[in-house]
Amino acid sequence: MSTKKIKSALISVYHKDGLEPIVEQLNAIGVKIYSTGGTQRFIESLGIAVEAVEDLTTYPSILDGRVKTLHPKVFGGILARREPSHQIQLGQYEIPEIDLVIVDLYPFEETVATTDDESTIIEKIDIGGIALIRAAAKNFNDVTVIASREEYSYLLQLLKDGNGQIERSARQILARRAFAVSSHYDTAIFHYFSRNSNDFVFKHSMGAGQQLRYGENPHQEGVFYGDLAEKFDKLHGKALSYNNLVDVDAAVNIMSEFQDAAPTFAVLKHTNTCGLATRATVFEAWKAALAGDNISAFGGILISNTGIDLVTAQAIDEIFYEVLIAPEFDSDALAFLQKKKTRILLRIKDPSLGNRIFKSLLNGVIEQENDLSIEGASVWEHMTTKRPTEGEAKDLLFANKCVKHLKSNGIALIKDEQLVGMGCGQTSRVDALKQAIAKAQKFGFDLTGAVMASDAFFPFPDCVEIANQAGITAVIQPGGSKRDQDSIDYCNKHGMAMVKTGVRHFKH
């Protein structure tokens, strides 16, 4: 039969919230309830009859609660197929059928997030609960399984609609979701035990996915896995697209370099920073960032490290953009920005970045540490006779932060903490530099006294020669070329300052 009547239920949950209406509905349709410990006491407090699992098994909860439900009289009733050969064995050993299993696992991930105490964490590894989930899900042909509080409302509706009769299709859906819960739980435990391990095993579980309108292009399907609500409050606008999410990620990454800086604004297009500036006010930072490339800013992603006020909102509203991200929005600024229906407004809650990143390629996955390094002046190696001035040093640090987030080959030209020219994604470093200079000149910037950052070394002195001819006076680069000295000699000859960081920032 595809439909099964629930006559008995085993309920063992950590969190009791949301359970009451289900227990009351089960009681109303005459379901016999088995339970343990705190769940049993909760059900009894509702005035509803419940049989203790230890009465069924004739064994008490032992070993500080580590063993409660692990018994043939429990698992036999769950795993038994409702067919003659199994029914005979159930009768022989006086094992009752269990038609519904409701489990809410110990909060392992939450415990890991709140303590480093190993013994506390280990005690939150659920054994009986995970076994109950897997057993009930395996036998979905006869048993209904509820593996998390997220399924309570669905179960309640099923119980009401069918008066306790559950269709096989619904049981199979719940089984699939139950295995998703158990696999995610086991992955979290694996990651805890692997935190200091060199075992190269790729296991990640991201929870429920969010269907996107499409992928990178309209003919491609797209899904986001994760919980955006942990990172942002979405205050307004249409649903985020695949490309929006990729660009938002790039925006959060570049702004992570300026979390503690004075008001800073960035404009991004196709993950590359085309405008970036730090100023005394957010309005001034916006105007300076936009000036860097007011053409590429059209349809871009905007991000600020400072709250948005009304004056800035009104200035931003003069262009078309996809997404605006900020830590706060003044109430009048938010009301003004919300007048345009499709504009996406995100209040960032958690600007932190993950320690590892990965992507699929070929027939597998590559994973690496996230590039969270940025090299301050204290670690620079001064390669030339001339040292950078205080102003140049400030701009060199700014430039290094900027070029780190440009697609390779990348060059960033900075003057007075403003991105005045950028070249990215070029197959030669010379082309990237020429692109950056051309952009700066196109938007009316005087490069005299500007600085240059390169994401990788200069194999030849041609880049510093071109930079010098454009008016650039200081350079920051990782070094490491066999011909570094050629570039150093050129800088010394022409009065340029060069510092070496020793750290390359390729971005593919």
The β-bridge partners of 144 are 100
Quick check: helix, strand or coil at residue 19?
Answer: coil
Query: Could you give the CA distance from residue 320 to residue 300 in angstroms, rounded to a whole number?
Result: 8
- One-letter amino acid at 156 equals L
DSSP per residue over 210-221, as a string? Answer: EE-S-SSSTTS-
Q: Residue 108 half-sphere exposure, CB side, CA atoms within 13 Å? A: 22
Which of the following is catalytic: 7, 16, 124, 138?
138
Query: Could you give the CA distance from residue 303 to residue 348 in angstroms, rounded to a whole number?
Result: 10
Rg (C-alpha) for the chain, rounded Å, is: 31
Query: Could you give the CA distance from residue 429 to residue 359 in angstroms, rounded to a whole number?
Result: 26
Q: What number of residues does the chain have? A: 508
DSSP per residue over 15-58, as a string? Answer: --TT-HHHHHHHHHTT-EEEE-HHHHHHHHHTT---EEHHHHHS
Instruction: Return the structure tokens found at 267.
Output: 């404009």
If 0-12 CB within 10 Å is exposed, 13-18 middle and 19+ buried, where does residue 342 land? Answer: exposed
Quick check: helix, strand or coil at residue 100?
Answer: strand
Say whether 270 is catalytic. Answer: yes
Q: Residue 140 half-sphere exposure, CB side, CA atoms within 13 Å? A: 20
Which of the following is catalytic: 236, 270, 287, 394?
270
Hey, which residues are catalytic here?
138, 270
